[in-house]
Amino acid sequence: MYIYRLVFLLVLAIYIFSPNILDWWTSPGNAWYSPYIIWAGLIAIGFWLEWRRDPNEF
């Protein structure tokens, strides 16, 4: 049940902060690798959550 709360909070945060993230992402003054930093962070968080989960949880 813990993972469902986490997913709910993640979706809520994305919904609230998406306009700010899109403005930051598309601004012309950013480095070319800034979107890749976001994706690397998301992949690292997903890996960390899977690594922490008990193998018999599902």
pLDDT of residue 45: 80
Q: How many CB atoms lie within 10 A of CB 38?
A: 13
pTM over 0.85: no
Concatenating the DSSP letter of every residue in 1-58 gives -HHHHHHHHHHHHHHHHHHHHHHHHH-TTS-TTHHHHHHHHHHHHHHHHHHHS-TT--
58 residues of the chain, pLDDT tens digit each: 566 777 887 888 888 878 887 787 778 888 888 878 878 887 888 788 777 666 665 5
pLDDT of residue 33: 86
CA separation for the pair 13, 7 (Å, rounded):
10
What is the chain's Cα-based Rg?
15
pLDDT of residue 16: 81
